[in-house]
Amino acid sequence: MSGAREGTFASVADRLCGHCAMLLGWRPAEFWETTPAELACILTAMRSPETGAVEPLARDEMQRMMERDNG
């Protein structure tokens, strides 16, 4: 972290960049190349409509996606 004062753009951006690294596996460049609208869309898609929590992907669903996308 940069040591910027809490609540500043820099401190919030540092924290959000870290969250994207943990949740999405992004490197800093990927975070900075993404627009706020794109990031909001991605994070919204990760939320469960009922609880707002991230739902894990079921193993069988992952297998179906892999088979579909790998031909």
pLDDT (average), residues 27-46: 90
Say what the pTM is: 0.56
Asked if pLDDT for residue 41 goes beyond 70, the answer is yes
User: What is the token pair recorded at 59?
Assistant: 């193993």
Task: Choose from 7-16, 23-32, 39-48 the range with maximum mean pLDDT.
Answer: 23-32
What is the band of 55 on the pLDDT scale with cuts at 50, 70, 90?
low
Going by C-alpha positions, the residue among 48, 49, 69 that lies closest to residue 57 is 48
For residues 31 and 20, the answer to whether their CB atoms sit within 8 Å is yes
Q: How many CB atoms lie within 10 A of CB 20?
A: 20
d(CA 49, CA 41): 14
